[in-house]
């Protein structure tokens, strides 16, 4: 997906360079969001309840991002939003009783890095707009599991849909307020130390974004 994003950015910037009527918007954003997700570890060789470790978590996060857009006429724009900082979850700890070996202590912490969104903005009028995009984020897993499993890192693709309000000033500066819904695909990982697997699923969230930028 990153190759697709880069190819799209290059194409848009190329066509913008040969048309003086296509402008550029750049800006920074502050975001807050609420997220939820589920995880299931399938233990190879286990039976019954010993075969699955599962749980769901939710939490809040705040982050900053930068964006650049190309306007395509009066109503349409295509852009890229990038989060330069890592989004770190809190460490989750749980003790699970296994009928075969007794108590198993599990600790899991996840970092989300390089969250990138390729999106399209369609203006309903001079102020209100709708927004849709494709997302990708790298998932860095940090775990200490009683089963002895260790899992590598991966990336998740997702989609976003939102709407917002834009106010442009006479000097080209603008302020935006928007809300977005994000939904990521499921991903299954195989342990690097045994045959156990873990599946990350139902990762979704709602965010509010406040942006300040300038049109050129």
What does the pLDDT look like over 145-159, one tens digit per residue? 656 667 778 889 999
> 88: pLDDT confidence band, cut at 50, 70 and 90?
confident
Reply yes or no on whether the pLDDT at 101 is more than 60: no
Q: Please give the structure tokens belonging to residue 103.
A: 């108590």
Q: Is this model's pTM higher than 0.85 or not?
A: no
Q: Please give the structure tokens belonging to residue 96.
A: 């699970």
CATH number of this structure's domain 2-215, picked from the four choices 3.30.70, 2.40.230, 2.30.30, 2.40.160: 2.40.160
Reply yes or no on whether the pLDDT at 99 is more than 50: no
The residue extents of the domains of the chain are 2-215
What is the spatial distance between Cα 43 and Cα 149, in angstroms, rounded to a whole number? 9
3-state SS assignment for residue 50? helix
Reply yes or no on whether the pLDDT at 45 is more than 70: no
Average predicted confidence (pLDDT) for the chain: 81
Reply yes or no on whether the pLDDT at 212 is more than 90: yes
Question: Among residues 119, 121, 115, which one has the least CA distance to residue 133?
Answer: 119
> 122: pLDDT confidence band, cut at 50, 70 and 90?
very high
Average pLDDT for 40-44: 73
Q: Please give the structure tokens belonging to residue 69.
A: 């857009």
Core vs surface per residue 45-58: b (16+ CB within 10 A) or e: ebeeebeebeeeee
Average pLDDT for 106-110: 70
More confident residue, 46 or 60: 60
Displacement of CA 69 from its chain's centroid (Å): 19
Helix, strand, coil share (%) of the chain residues, nearest 5: 10, 65, 25
Mean pLDDT check: name the lowest of 39-43, 127-131, 162-166.
Answer: 39-43
């Amino acid at each position: 997906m990153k190759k697709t994003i880069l190819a799209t950015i290059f194409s848009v910037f190329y066509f913008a360079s040969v048309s003086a009527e296509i402008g550029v918007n750049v800006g920074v954003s502050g975001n807050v969001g609420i997220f939820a997700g589920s995880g299931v570890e399938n233990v190879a060789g286990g039976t019954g309840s010993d075969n699955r470790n599962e749980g769901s978590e939710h939490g809040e996060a705040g982050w900053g991002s930068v964006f650049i857009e190309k306007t395509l006429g009066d109503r349409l724009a295509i852009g890229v939003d990038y989060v330069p900082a890592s989004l770190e979850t809190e460490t989750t700890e749980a003790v699970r009783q296994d009928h075969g070996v007794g108590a198993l202590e599990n600790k899991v912490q996840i970092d989300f890095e390089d969250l990138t969104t390729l999106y399209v903005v369609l203006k309903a009028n001079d102020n209100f707009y709708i927004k849709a995009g494709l997302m990708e984020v790298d998932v860095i897993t940090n775990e200490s599991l009683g089963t002895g499993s260790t899992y590598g890192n991966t990336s998740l693709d997702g989609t976003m849909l939102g709407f917002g309000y834009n106010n442009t000033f006479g000097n080209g500066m603008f302020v935006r307020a928007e809300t977005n819904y994000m939904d990521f695909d499921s991903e299954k990982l195989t342990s690097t130390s045994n045959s156990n697997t873990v599946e990350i699923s139902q990762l979704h969230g709602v965010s509010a974004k406040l942006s300040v930028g300038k049109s050129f």
